[in-house]
Amino acid sequence: MDQSIKHLLKESPGYKVNGSLWMEFEGERFFGPGRVELLKLVDETGSLNKAAKQMGMSYKKAWEMVTALNTQAARPLVILHTGGKKGGGSSITHEAKELIAYHSQLRARFKAFLERESKRMLA
């Protein structure tokens, strides 16, 4: 049974249904906006350290996020290259790019759902 709650709200168009979206694995956060941003920045900069700095995040926190991603996914999403003349670097895998694309589509569907529910709430 779907009931309107319009009678409980002030006469204002200022109400909306809102939410945050992330994917979980075994009760732990797996993939969401922060990790998407980190992966995109690793892809752009070629460096986990540079990506972390651009996000205002410690390298340790970024390392922990990458470790969690690589552990929770079926295949690694980030490859960390150590040493070398340039001091190493990082890259994301094709699987990471697929997951980023899927998450983008998922967020679009979620946004559409939130907009529909907001209109429905005020109907």
Mean pLDDT of the chain: 92
| Average pLDDT, integer, range 87-99 | 93
Answer yes or no: is 19 within a domain: no
pLDDT tens-digit series, residues 33-83: 999 999 999 999 999 999 999 999 999 999 999 999 999 999 999 999 887
Neighbouring CB atoms inside 10 A of 35's CB total 24
Answer yes or no: is 104 within a domain: yes
Q: Report yes or no: 90 and 50 within 8 Å, Cβ to Cβ.
A: no
Indicate the pLDDT class of residue 86, thresholds 50, 70 and 90.
low
Answer yes or no: is 91 within a domain: yes
Look at the chain and report how many structural domains it folds into: 1
Which pTM value belongs to this model? 0.86
Answer yes or no: is 84 within a domain: yes
Specify the 3-state DSSP secondary structure of 53.
helix
- By residue range, what is the domain housing residue 38? 30-122
Answer yes or no: is 4 within a domain: no
Residue 76 is part of a domain; what is its CATH number?
1.10.10.10
